Amino acid sequence: MPQIRTAYLGELDYADGTVFHFPYGLPGFEHEHAFLFLKQPHTEPLLFLQSLGNSRLCFILLPILVVDPNYAVNLDAEDLAALHLAPGRQPKIGEDILCAAIVTTGSVEQGEPTANLMAPVVVNLKEQIGMQVICADSPYSHRHPIPMGKDAAPCS
């Protein structure tokens, strides 16, 4: 079984069948085409999008419905085709696709973690093809505040 050194989860074995292909990479990382989705019990619901080609490159993601339970997917015909999804209808989160937002932990201006809801990572679960979909007409922000519990204590 192939092994990978990850940015946050140490060394891991992975099966070839668990690799997700990103034909266009991600904006800013166009040459990274293969990623693993990882998670660990003590940091759930966070997801880790770990690059296979660059062990230091790992994005922290949140399932989009965790950030906004009412989030509505809006993929255009080109996006659907690129992801090999059925044309003419929006895919269902959790059934057809995984949809997650990239988290920026403490952006410079705000100091609080934010999630990019304007450009979610969308993955065709059956075909294991993914891309970051940039929604031009999106009503969502690229720096959407992440919901936080008010009783959060800094050291518990």
Partner 1 sequence: MKRRAGESFTIGDEIEIEVLEVAGTRVKLGIVAPDSVAIVRKEARVTREENITASQPVGPDALTALAQRLWRQAKTTP
Give the footprint of partner 1 on this chain (CB under 8 A): 7-8, 26-29, 42-46, 56-60, 62, 66, 102-108, 113, 116, 118-119, 132, 134-136, 138, 142-143, 146-149, 151-152, 154, 156
Nearer to partner 1, 2 or 27 (CB): 27
Peptide bond into 45 cis (omega under 30): yes
Q: How far is the CB of 125 from partner 1 (least distance, A)?
A: 22
Q: How far is the CB of 145 from partner 1 (least distance, A)?
A: 12
Going by C-alpha positions, the residue among 136, 124, 120 that lies closest to residue 73 is 120
- Beta-bridge partners for 93: 97
Q: How far is the CB of 14 from partner 1 (least distance, A)?
A: 20
3-state SS class at 75: coil
For 9-96, where are the E strands, in sequence order? Answer: 11-13, 20-21, 34-38, 47-51, 58-63
DSSP-assigned states of every residue in 43-67? GTT-EEEEESS-TT-EEEEEEHHHH
Nearer to partner 1, 53 or 126 (CB): 53
Nearer to partner 1, 28 or 87 (CB): 28
Nearer to partner 1, 38 or 127 (CB): 38
Nearer to partner 1, 14 or 29 (CB): 29
Q: How far apart are the first and last CA of the chain?
A: 38
Q: How far is the CB of 17 from partner 1 (least distance, A)?
A: 26
